[in-house]
Amino acid sequence: MPSAREMIIRALATVLQGSGNEVLRGEVLPERVPAAGLLILRDGDPGEPEVTLSPLTYHYQHRAEIEAVVQGTSRDTTFDTLTASIATALTADRTLGGLCDWVEAEAPRPVDLPVEGAASLKAAVIPVVLHYSTADPLA
């Protein structure tokens, strides 16, 4: 059985895919970016948990990352549409089906990346904070 952490990351990927976007998990940026943009989900860092002793529970504020990438002549509009779809998807289910206590994205910091011989990319890393608790740091 997968750990709570893995189930939460899988649920986050599923929610993002449900927004109609192409989502990769832990992959490198492909040579071609779809016209509607691309999301790459990175597992991120669970951080140091807070611990309660009775019962023993580890409380995490896990920081996953979503890389949002668009390319083409209407990069700004496409990027805005892509990030808005992330917000809509996360707002629709802040607990990822009850796996998390709360899920919240932080604002993106977009950058333009030149590509030799092609239209430049607009990309941003969007941190997503996953609040959850487990009985064991490995479970």
Q: What is the pLDDT of residues 24-78, one digit of tens each?
A: 999 999 988 999 999 999 999 999 999 999 899 999 999 999 999 999 889 999 9
User: What are the boundaries of each domain within the chain?
Assistant: 4-134
CATH of domain 4-134: 3.30.70
CA 35 to chain centre: 20
User: Residue for token digits 């509009």?
Assistant: 77
pTM for the model stands at 0.92
3-state secondary structure of 42: strand
Q: How confident is the model over 101-134, as pLDDT tens digits? A: 999 999 999 999 888 877 789 999 999 999 999 9
